[in-house]
Structure 1
Amino acid sequence: MKLSRIVLASVLALTACGTADTATTPAPGASGALTPIKLQLQWFYQAQFAGYIAAVDQGFYQEQGLDVTLLEGGVDIVPQTVLAQGKADYAIAWVPKALASREQGAGITDVGQIFARSGTYQVAWKDSGITKAADLKGKKVGNWGFGNEFELFAGMTKAGVDPGKDVTLVQQQFDMQALLKKEIDAAQAMSYNEYAQLLEAKNPATGKLYTADDFAIIDWKTEGSSMLQDAVWANTAKLNDPAYQQQTVKFLTATIKGWAFCRDNPEKCRDLVVAKGSKLGRSHQLWQMNEVSKLVWPAAAGGIGTVDETAWKQTVEISQTTRNQTGDTVLTRAPEGLAYTNDYIRQAIGQAEAAGVDVDGSGFQPATVTLTEGGA
C-alpha cells in the first residue's frame, strides 16, 4: 500500500517506535516540582488548538503538577512520529493518519478524542449545481492529499462516483484561490479555516465580501463518510507505567478544563491564540474558535474526549475500504493492539466534573461571527 507523502514521511522517520522509552515517569508534582511535558500540535498555532493554549495560560496544567510546553506543528512535522520517537509526551493527530502510522509500527494510543465530529467540507459555487457527492461527477475536484482526501473519496465512492475515473482531481493548495478563480469546481475546506477564507474575500462584482449564499457546502457528516479527526495520542508502551498513567489522567483533566474554558470564553481564547503568534487575524480566529467548539460540543456520550465506538468503526472501515485515485487505502487491516482506550479520559472527566466543569456542553450555543476582509 502506498500511503500519502505525509504518512510515508512518518513511516520513514520512525526508529524503533514500538520500543519507545519506558523509563519510569516521575510522578507529577513529586517533591513539589512540576513535571515537564511536551505536547506536539499538528499544525501552526490557531484556534484549532485553543483548548491546549488556554490550559497553559490559565494554569490548568500547573494545577495538575505539569509544566506543559506546546510544540508548534508545520508542513514537515508529523505529530505521531514525534511522539513515537520519544520527542514528545503526547501529540495531536487525526485518527486515520495516526492509525496508518500505527500499522507501520508506531506505538501510539488514542487516549482522548477531543473532536467528536469532522469539520471537513467540499465547497462549490452556489450556481454550479453541486450540492452532494454525486454532483461531483465530471467536475474538477480539488483536494489537499497528504491523507486528507479519504472523506472526499469515501463520499464519492458511496455516491457511485469513481474517484479515479469520473472526476478530474486537482492538487489544491491550503487556500481557496483555485475556487475563487474558478480554476476548479469544488474545493476541500475545513469548516473552521478555509471556508472562512471564502467569506473573507471580496466579490469583485459588488465590492463587498462574499456570503454563505454564494456557496454550496457538501458536509461529509451529512454524506455519511466523515472520519474522526483531532485526538490526544499517548505512547502505548509507556501506558504500562503507572506513573505515566497517572500523568495522562492529569494531562487530560487539565485539557478538558482548557476546552471548557474556550467554549465559555471564545473571545478570550481568540486573544490567547493571536497572542501566541498566529498569522491569522482576529475575526478569522474568532470564527475558528466558534467552529471548532461545534466539533467538540456537545460532547460525545460519556463526555468530552470519549471515543464513540460507532464513529471509530466508521473511520476504520473507511480507512480499510476506500481507495484513492491510485487505488490505495489508508489501512490494509484492522488496527491491532491498544489503538484507543477510554480508561484515562473517563477518569479525567470524573475529576473535571468533580471540580465543577461542564464536561458535556449540552447547552452550548454557537455564536454568529462577523468576518472582516482577510480575516483581520
Structure 2
Amino acid sequence: MKRPASWNSRLAAAGLAVLMAGALTACGGSGKEASGEGAGAVKLQLKWVPQAQFAGYYVALEKGYYKDEGLSVTIVPGGPDIVPEQQVANGSADIGVDWVASLLAHQEQGLPLVEIAQVYQKSGLVLVSRKSAGIAGPSDLKGKKVGNWMGGNEFELLALFDKYKLNPSKDLQFAKQGFTMDQFLGGELDAASAMTYNEYQVVLEQGIPEAELSVIDMNKEGVGMLEDNLFANKDWLAKNKETAAKFLRASLKGWKDAVEDQEGAVDIVMKSADAASTSRDHQLKMMKEVAKLVAPDGFDIGKLGMIDEEAFRQTAEIALKFGVIQKAADAGTAYTTEIYGMAAK
C-alpha cells in the first residue's frame, strides 16, 4: 500500500526544508514558548500546542529540574504546520517529540534522527461509537461508516481491519474525519477515531454517558503503535551525549511528578496553554489519561522512558505492512538506549 498523498507531501516538504533552512531558528506554533535559565542550551520541539500531553517537560522546567542539571531548556510549541523531525534535522531544535511511525518514515527519507526515549508506553488511539450503532467489537464494523483523520493516523485502524479480515474499500466506509468530533456527535459517523486523552474526553464533555458508548482499544486488539517519543539529531547527539542524558534525566523526573501529582502538573501546563482554546478541567482529564499511557497499570515507574523492544517491533511491522516505510526498520539505527542508560546513572 502506498503512503497517503498527505504523508508523502509532508515528507517531501520536510526534506526540502532541511536542505534550505539549515541555519533557521525554530518556528513556534500556537501557544507560548517556555524557557528556563542555565548553562547548556537545549531546544525541545513539541508536536502540538502546550497541553497535558507534554506535561512532564513543563513540570521539569517549572520546578527547575533542567536548571539543576545545568541546562537552559526552551520548549517550542508545535502546530499544524510544524514537523518536529524537520526542525530537529535542520538544527532549529535539538530534541523533538513525535510518534514513532512518523520518526521511522523520516529516518527512511534520510534525515539523521535517532530515538533516545519512549515516553508513551501505550497507544492512546481508540474507536468510539454509540452502543445504539451496534458495534460491540471490530467485526461489527462491517457495513459501518468509520472515521479517521488520515494523513498518517490511520495505520492502526488498517491493521485492525486486516486482523478481522475487513476490506476498508468494500466491507465498510472508511471516511476522512475532521479534527473535531462534530461528525460523530452529529451522527455522520458510526464510529470515530479518538485519542483517550483528547477527543474521547470531548465526547464525554458533550454529555454522552460512558454507559452509552462502545470503545475499541488498539492496545487490547494487539495493533497499538507507539506514540510520543523523544528523538535527537544524530550529529548533535554525537557531540552532546552528556547534555542529552541530563535533559532526559530531568524530563523523566518531571514526568514522574506529573504522573504522581496530576493536579499540580495541570496547574503548570495552564501557564503555557492557550486559555481561550482549552480549560483546566479538560487538561486535567487529559492528564489523567496521559498518565495511563506514560505509566500503564503494573508499569515500574522507575522505568519511565524505556524503549520496549517488542512494542517497537510491533510498531515497525505495522508501519512496514501498511506503507509508512518501504523497508524493514533497523532497530539498531532507529533508536539508541545509550542515553537512557546514561540518564539512569
Q: 1:280 deviation in Å?
A: 1.5
Against the structure 1 CA distance between its residues 7 and 59, is the aligned structure 2 distance closer, same or farther, given a 3 Å change threshold?
Answer: farther
What SS does structure 2 have at the residue aligned with 1:314?
A: helix
User: TM-score, length-normalised on structure 2?
Assistant: 0.89
Change (3 A) 1:3 1:238: farther
Q: Which residue of 2 aligns with 1:138?
A: 143
Find the partner of 2:74 among 61, 69, 72.
69
Question: 1:295 pairs with 293, 296, 302, which one?
Answer: 293
Give secondary structure in 1 for the equivalent of 2:219: helix
Q: Which residue of 1 aligns with 2:265?
A: 269
Any residues of structure 2 matched to 1:188-199 within 5 Å, and which? 188-199=193-204
1:104-135, CA deviations, whole angstroms, 9 ceiling, x for partnerless residues?
11111110100011010010001212122221
User: What is the match of residue 326 of structure 1?
Assistant: none
SS of the residue 2:270 aligns to: helix
My pick for the range that moved more, 272-281 or 152-161, is 272-281
Q: Per-residue deviation at 1:162?
A: 0.9
Letter in 1 for 2:268: L
Aligned twin of 2:121: 116
Deviations along 1:235-279, whole A, 9 cap, x unmatched?
1223322xx111110010000111011112111111111221232
Q: Which residue of 1 aligns with 2:133?
A: 128
Matches within 5 A, 1:127-276: 127-201=132-206, 209-241=207-239, 244-276=240-272
Task: Tell me, yes or no, if the aligned pair for 2:56 and 2:251 is still in contact at 8 Å.
Answer: yes
Alignment-mate amino acid for residue 11 of structure 1: A
For 2:87 and 2:244, the matched residues in 1 are separated by 17
Secondary structure of the 1:111 match is strand
How big is each residue's C-alpha offset from its partner over 1:52-98, in whole Å with a ceiling of 9 and x where there is no partner?
Answer: 11111111111111111111111111111111111100000000011
Secondary structure of the equivalent of 2:111? Answer: coil
Offset, 1:14: 2.0
The letter of the residue matching 1:8 is S
Cα separation, 2, equivalents of 1:147 and 1:55 = 30
Q: Corresponding residue for 1:45? A: 50
Tell me the equivalent position of 1:354.
none
Which residue type is aligned with residue 54 of structure 1? V
Match of 1:286 among 265, 284, 294: 284
Question: Partner residue of 2:326?
Answer: 332
Name stretches of at least 5 consecutive residues in structure 2 with no aligned partner. Answer: 23-36
Provide the C-alpha distance between the structure 2 equivalents of 1:86 and 1:6, rounded to a whole number of angstroms.
22
Alignment partners' CA distance in 2, 1:239 and 1:76 = 25
2:49–2:273 contact (8 Å) kept in structure 1: no
Instruction: State the AA in 2 paired with 1:234.
Output: A
Q: What percentage of residue pairs aligned between the two structures are identical? A: 40
> How much does 1:99 deviate?
0.6
Query: Do 1:41 and 1:91's aligned partners in 2 also have CA atoms closer than 8 Å?
Result: yes
The answer to whether the Cα contact below 8 Å between 1:93 and 1:230 also exists between their aligned partners in 2 is yes
Q: Deviations over 1:25-53 (max 9, x none)?
A: xxxxxxx9511211000011110000011
CA separation in 1, counterparts of 2:5 and 2:310? 26
What displacement does 1:282 show? 1.2
Report the counterpart of residue 29 of structure 1 in structure 2: none
Query: Secondary structure at the residue paired with 2:80?
Result: coil
**Alpha-carbon contact 1:7-1:147 (below 8 Å) kept:** no
Using the TM superposition, give the Cα deviation of residue 347 of structure 1 relative to its aligned residue in structure 2, in angstroms: 2.2
Q: Equivalents in 2 of 1:210, 1:61: separation in Å?
A: 41
* Offset, 1:169: 1.8
What is the TM-score with the length of structure 1 in the denominator?
0.82
- For residue 91 of structure 2, what is the aligned residue in structure 1? 86
Contact 2:89–2:112 (CA under 8 A) maintained in structure 1: yes
Residue 346 (1) aligns with residue 341 (2): yes
> What per-residue deviation string (whole Å, max 9, x for no partner) do you get for residues 209-232 of structure 1?
221111100001111110000000
Q: Which structure: larger Rg?
A: 1
- Distance in 2, matches of 1:17 and 1:105, equals 11
Equivalenced residues, count: 324
**Structure 2 letter corresponding to 1:321:** K
Matches of 2:301 and 2:256, distance apart in 1 = 16
**Structure 2 CA distance, aligned partners of 1:139 and 1:118?**
24
Structure 2: distance between partners of 1:211 and 1:100 = 38
Q: 1:142 to 1:16 in 2, by over 3 A?
A: closer
Instruction: Find the residue that maps to 2:220 and give its secondary structure.
Output: helix
Match of 2:26 in 1: none
Distance in 2 (CA, whole Å) between partners of 1:37 and 1:239 is 11
Distance 1:300 1:138, change over 3 A: farther
What's the CA shift for 1:6? 4.6
